[in-house]
Amino acid sequence: VPAEAALWDDEDSESDSSSPRGRLVEPQPTTRPRHEGMYHCEFCPYSSRNLCDVTKHERRHTGEKPFRCSVCERAFARRDDLRVHMRTHTGEKPFHCEVCLKAFARSNVLMIHKRVHTGEKPYHCGICEKEFSQKSHLLHHKRTHSGERPYKCDACEKTYILLGHLNSHRKKVHE
């Protein structure tokens, strides 16, 4: 796929039907009642005055991913997701922490990082009252209460809460 095709976008065109990638599901405007001036999702009650919004939304139902990376061929439903993904190839990190100047490719990762400096821990365990700065850390912690240990060593059957713990075990014990 040529580099210029990696950022190809049908959102500026008036109709998707002529696009090279096309739509997986063509809209059926007569299949159910419509509100004047609104575009409706063919799969759920979602509607919008903007056809592009409905087209993007419908991709959640169809799985269509028309935006393909020209480097690794990974595909995305939204052009902006491709744009952010391209940073993994270019190394671009436009978001900087004002405190320590660490740089990030994604704004949401910068937001999570800032909690290191503020001490904010918005995720609370309802069982033991421990607090966490990241939701994933809370979810992993909850496994200590539930007993869930989804990562199992194929060599010795030992189980772990985190994949990283299993990988460390494999290196220490089985290599």
Q: What is the per-residue pLDDT for 132?
A: 97
> What domains are defined for the chain?
3-88 (3.30.160.60), 93-175 (3.30.160.60)
pTM of the model: 0.59
Whether residue 141 has pLDDT greater than 60: yes
The predicted-structure confidence for 145-171, as pLDDT tens digits, reads as follows 999 999 999 999 999 999 999 999 999
**Numbers of helices and strands, H then E, in the chain:** 6, 10
**Sign of torsion over alpha carbons 104, 105, 107, 113:** negative
- What does the block give as tokens for 21? 């990638």
The predicted-structure confidence for 8-30, as pLDDT tens digits, reads as follows 333 333 333 333 333 344 444 43
